[in-house]
Amino acid sequence: MSASGALAAGSRTAGRAATHRVSLAIMLVVGLLLVQALADSAVAVLAGADGDDAWASVDRAARWSELAAAALYVLLAALTAGKVVLDRQWRHFATGADLALLALGFTMALAGVANDSSAALTGQALLAYLRAVLVFYALRAADPGPVAVRRLLTVVGVVVAANVAVALGEAAAGFAVDDAAGVGSVDQGAVRALLADSVELGNVLGLALVGCLAWAAGGRTVGRMWWAAVALVALALSATESSGSVVGVLLAAVVVAVTARRGAARVLGVVLLLVLCVGAQVALNPDRHASWEARLGIGVSRVDGAAIAAPTDFPRVADVLARQPLLGCGPGQLTSIGAGEGGSQCTANQPFEQKGFSHSFWFRLLIETGVLGFAAFVAWLFLVIRPLRNPARRRPRRESPGPPHFIAIWGIAAVVFAAVVAVLSPSVESPMLSVLLWTVVGIAWWVRRRSQEAERSLFAADTAFIPKVRDPADVHAVDTRILGTDEILSLARQARRRTDRGN
């Protein structure tokens, strides 16, 4: 090998090593974000519990936690940009979902300009809505190996298992763990484990249960230990205040069964387990019964003589949309009202600051960005999950597409689950659920990319000397002669160059 060839080979090796290190760094930061989001409340208590004022300690630690999360996001953005530049992955980020996200950001910014939202308020609102999407792009840019993905999912599984164990302990003991530390809770009687409140815990457990559904429907092996673990997760979920998560799991189960096209009996078994656990909680706990009625707007219940009325957000939303139907009142307006900073003219004379309003993420999105913002958001989510339906796009005509990988099924069902949860709460933009959601969807897109690369290696390379992988209609054009060594090496180099460009 000549000196120039050796230098070029060494440069390529160094480049691959650099991109590998950046990919590992991205996976590490995503793992830290997951741990920070899932165990935020526990970290706050452990880091700040000094003296008698436990809530003050938690508030101080929470501020440090927010700063740590912001620093992790900045680092993740820098690593993602560096990975894209090193690998020249520009074309991988020009999909319909990417263009739809740009359109969504433009629509939200336009809503801010057309209304009374300042540039700072609009920027803060965009971060609240879309900050966690950076995790989705980071995982796509990292293009990690199966071992790294398995380790990341193991981190998620360990933290979720810890929350399940603590939640079941709380349910058995009758009080929350942070009550023992002197920190009270607004949702008394509901477990919350290591998270900030019971609804967030329900979101975590619901998303984990959707993953169990995808695993079962994806043809994976399930045994008694698996069913026992699913039963424990369902029991812990039923003990939370998150009725939206329960409804989201039930609707996601339908999506899983339809997408996987198999495993319906297993999916039905998981659903029955969840329904039995929730039914037992509602029947035995009057507070839980009243909470379900209030959440779903069924009617009015009485707990200790106090009436809990169903939400009445529709008239107020309709009134605001009648004034600003297309672009709403501007991003961040409801947040500023909640902080006592006032709102825009289109929110005047509306009691949005009352507790209980804006319990729906979709209502808030409609009011702040109007019909255009709402439509752009829904279209973007649709374009995110559409490619996961059939990860491999090009197949022989005689071969029908098989069911998607279980992680791709999980990605589709996770978006549906989050959309249902968003009807009953604003938790979709919370640091916890948003990071979990986009981690799952990012890994699902990684599965999609690997499927396409594997298919290209079979059907896009110059493999005319293998007639059986060609379309029967083209068999007359197949060259069946025996290739020489130089020709074989040339074909291998062409396939390698195509694979490198794909990466």
Q: How far is CA 144 from the centre of its chain?
A: 18
Residues 485 and 345 in one domain: no
Residues 115 and 224 in one domain: yes
374 domain-assigned: yes
Residues 372 and 482 in one domain: no
Report residue 221: phi and psi, to 5°: -70, 130
- Is the predicted pLDDT of residue 419 greater than 90, yes or no? yes
371 domain-assigned: yes
pLDDT at 493: 66
Q: For the ranges 14-28, 125-139, 341-355, which has the lowest average pLDDT?
A: 341-355
Number of domains in the chain: 2
- Alpha-carbon gap, residue 95 to 475, rounded angstroms: 34
397 domain-assigned: no
In the chain, what is the straight-line distance between the N-terminal and C-terminal CA atoms, in Å? 27
pLDDT at 394: 44
- Alpha-carbon gap, residue 117 to 330, rounded angstroms: 6
396 domain-assigned: no
- Helix (H) / strand (E) element for 303: namely strand 301-303
Q: What number is the average pLDDT over the span 62-67?
A: 73
88 domain-assigned: yes
- Helix (H) / strand (E) element for 442: namely helix 431-459
Please give the structure tokens belonging to residue 391: 């990860």
- Is the predicted pLDDT of residue 29 greater than 80, yes or no? yes
Residues 473 and 347 in one domain: no
Residues 439 and 493 in one domain: no
Boundary (domain end) residue, out of 459, 478, 493: 459
Confidence of residue 477 (pLDDT cuts 50, 70, 90): very low
270 domain-assigned: yes
pLDDT at 460: 46
pLDDT at 35: 82
Mean pLDDT (the chain) is 75
- Is the predicted pLDDT of residue 178 greater than 50, yes or no? no
Confidence of residue 396 (pLDDT cuts 50, 70, 90): very low
The answer to whether 455 and 469 are in contact (CB under 8 A) is: no
| 112 burial type by CB count under 10 A (0-12 exposed, 13-18 middle, 19+ buried) | buried
Confidence of residue 449 (pLDDT cuts 50, 70, 90): confident
Q: What number is the average pLDDT over the span 81-96?
A: 88
pLDDT digits (tens, 9 = 90+) for 319-339: 777 777 888 888 887 754 444
Residues 81 and 177 in one domain: yes
Q: What number is the average pLDDT over the span 80-93?
A: 87
Residues 379 and 477 in one domain: no
- Is the predicted pLDDT of residue 99 greater than 80, yes or no? yes
Residues 484 and 440 in one domain: no
- Is the predicted pLDDT of residue 227 greater than 50, yes or no? yes
pLDDT at 230: 93
- Alpha-carbon gap, residue 465 to 54, rounded angstroms: 73
Percent of the chain's residues with pLDDT above 70: 64
Please give the structure tokens belonging to residue 103: 């359109």
190 domain-assigned: yes
Longest dimension (CA), the chain: 89
Residues 376 and 498 in one domain: no
- Is the predicted pLDDT of residue 146 greater than 70, yes or no? yes
Highest mean pLDDT among 173-187, 213-227, 242-256, 391-405: 242-256
Output the CA–CA distances (angstroms, integers) from residue 20 to 12, 119, 135, 141, in the order listed.
12, 38, 18, 11
Output the CA–CA distances (angstroms, integers) from residue 427 to 65, 245, 325, in the order listed.
18, 10, 24
- Residue 307 per-residue DSSP state: E
| 400 burial type by CB count under 10 A (0-12 exposed, 13-18 middle, 19+ buried) | exposed
Residues 376 and 354 in one domain: yes
pLDDT digits (tens, 9 = 90+) for 430-444: 778 889 999 999 999
36 domain-assigned: yes
- Is the predicted pLDDT of residue 46 greater than 60, yes or no? no
pLDDT at 319: 73
Q: For the ranges 141-150, 175-184, 190-199, 453-462, which has the lowest average pLDDT?
A: 175-184
Q: How many CB atoms lie within 10 A of CB 473?
A: 8
Contacts (Cβ under 8 Å, ≥6 apart) of 370: 111, 321, 324, 325, 326, 327, 328
Q: How many residues does the chain have?
A: 503
Helices (H), 261-332: 264-284, 286-296, 314-323
Torsion of CA 491, 497, 500, 502, to 10 degrees: -90
Contacts (Cβ under 8 Å, ≥6 apart) of 483: 465, 491
The answer to whether 172 and 236 are in contact (CB under 8 A) is: no
pLDDT at 49: 46
Boundary (domain end) residue, out of 443, 459, 475: 459
Residues 473 and 455 in one domain: no
pLDDT digits (tens, 9 = 90+) for 236-276: 998 887 888 999 999 999 999 999 888 889 999 999 999 99
Residues 192 and 328 in one domain: yes
Residue 308's SS3 state is strand
Q: For the ranges 119-133, 283-297, 407-421, which has the lowest average pLDDT?
A: 283-297
pTM (two decimals): 0.79
Its domain, for residue 237, covers 3-391+402-459
- Is the predicted pLDDT of residue 162 greater than 60, yes or no? yes
Question: Which CB contacts under 8 angstroms, 24+ apart, belong to 154-157?
Answer: 155/31, 155/34, 155/35, 156/34, 156/38, 156/436, 156/439
- Residue 309 per-residue DSSP state: P
The answer to whether 79 and 22 are in contact (CB under 8 A) is: yes
Query: For tokens 């990466």, what's the residue?
Result: 503
Q: How many CB atoms lie within 10 A of CB 284?
A: 9
- Is the predicted pLDDT of residue 423 greater than 90, yes or no? no
Confidence of residue 77 (pLDDT cuts 50, 70, 90): very high
CA torsion sign, 464 to 468 to 470 to 474?
A: positive
Q: Could you write out the DSSP letters of every residue in 148-161?
A: HHHHHHHHHHHHHH
- Is the predicted pLDDT of residue 300 greater than 60, yes or no? no
pLDDT at 282: 79
- Helix (H) / strand (E) element for 77: namely helix 54-87
- Alpha-carbon gap, residue 497 to 22, rounded angstroms: 22
- Alpha-carbon gap, residue 362 to 246, rounded angstroms: 18
pLDDT at 475: 46
Q: Nearest-CA neighbor of 153 among 407, 456, 384?
A: 407
Output the CA–CA distances (angstroms, integers) from residue 327 to 104, 108, 321, 349, 366, in the order listed.
12, 8, 9, 19, 9
Highest mean pLDDT among 149-158, 364-373, 378-387: 378-387
The answer to whether 23 and 83 are in contact (CB under 8 A) is: yes
